[in-house]
């Protein structure tokens, strides 16, 4: 019998102040994170029914444990009469996903008229997606063995410039009609999701430490596995330990979710190693996705 935490159909529910996230992540098995309040998901290694209503799916990279149920999600939405979702993928993978979708459609419905293909939108480093007028996602490049992206969700707010404070609403309305820019736009980082990645991403992207919630992989834990982690494009717990020494002020996140542990470890081992290796004050902000 496999360990209970190796069942992608039994996700972990994470309750934060403003959102409840349903997630699962074990290396080579499955990774997904569903954020119903924000109508989006990150990766689709499995497709729970809870995932089907979510309209925006942000894919970090093409490995099967992160994308295996992408087209299942699309099929279920069609079956339930929903509008197509949009699947945001690294730009270099669009053609591959499109070809895979066509092949899957022919296998699943060999005598039927081909279904409309899923809506695939390729993204590159720095691209922005607007989920609605006050919520935007920004893609950033991630270091892995294949083309990979991370994503940060931002709450976008308008703030009145200091020099216009106190003006009556009628005057502000007139200024708006006249095209006067009397507001500043504030981008408040809310949630960052990093898929598979080496520790280099944190050194290169320190801004991820400003998000209220950060999802971060720590795949390998044991001594002697550092080279294995590097070769496979993953993070070893000792890499994170060294990063915290080198950059003690970067990860200011209120919540840090550690995920994507190797299947070779049991729950007790994972929790023991993390507690023994990582600083106690850091662990106070950590949720272990198990």
Confidence of residue 115 (pLDDT cuts 50, 70, 90): confident
Average pLDDT over the chain reads 93
> What average pLDDT does this structure show over 249-277?
97
To which residue do tokens 């950060």 refer? 214
Alpha carbon distance 76, 19 (integer Å): 25
Confidence of residue 112 (pLDDT cuts 50, 70, 90): confident
This prediction's pTM: 0.93
pLDDT value of position 116? 84
**Residue length, the chain?**
290
pLDDT value of position 160? 62
pLDDT(171) > 70: no
pLDDT(3) > 90: no
What are 192's strand-pairing partners? 152, 214
pLDDT(250) > 90: yes
Residues of the chain with pLDDT > 90, as a percent, come to 83
- pLDDT tens digits for 273-289? 999 999 999 999 999 99
What is the CATH architecture assignment of 11-288? 4-Layer Sandwich (3.60)
Contacts of 233 (CB under 8 A, 6+ apart): 143, 144, 145, 146, 196, 197, 198
- pLDDT tens digits for 177-218? 777 665 678 999 999 999 999 999 999 999 999 999 999 999
């Amino acid at each position: 019998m496999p360990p209970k935490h190796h069942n992608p159909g039994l996700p972990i529910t994470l309750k934060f102040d403003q959102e409840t996230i349903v997630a699962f992540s074990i290396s080579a098995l499955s990774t997904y994170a569903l954020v119903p309040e924000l109508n989006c998901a990150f990766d689709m290694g499995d497709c729970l029914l809870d995932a089907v209503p979510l309209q925006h799916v942000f894919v970090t990279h093409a490995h099967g444990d992160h994308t295996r149920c992408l087209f299942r999600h699309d099929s279920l939405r069609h079956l339930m009469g929903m509008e197509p979702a949009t699947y945001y993928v690294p730009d270099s993978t669009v053609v591959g996903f499109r070809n895979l979708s066509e092949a899957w459609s022919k296998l699943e419905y060999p005598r039927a008229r081909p279904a409309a293909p899923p809506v695939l939108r390729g993204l590159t480093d720095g691209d922005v997606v607007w989920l609605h007028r006050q919520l935007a996602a920004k893609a950033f490049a991630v270091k892995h063995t294949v083309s990979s992206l991370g994503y940060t969700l931002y709450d976008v707010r308008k703030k009145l410039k200091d020099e216009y404070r106190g003006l009556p609403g009628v005057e502000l309305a007139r200024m708006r009609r006249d095209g006067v820019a009397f507001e500043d736009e504030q981008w408040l980082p809310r949630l960052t999701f990093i898929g598979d990645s080496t520790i280099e991403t944190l050194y290169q992207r320190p801004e991820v430490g400003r998000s209220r919630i950060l999802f971060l992989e720590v795949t390998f834990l044991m001594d002697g596995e550092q080279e294995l982690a590097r070769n496979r494009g993953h993070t070893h717990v000792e890499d994170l330990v060294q990063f915290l020494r080198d950059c003690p002020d970067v990860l200011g996140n209120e919540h840090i979710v550690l995920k994507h542990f190797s299947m070779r470890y049991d729950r007790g081992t994972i929790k023991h190693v993390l507690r023994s290796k990582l600083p106690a004050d850091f662990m106070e902000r950590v949720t272990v996705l198990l």
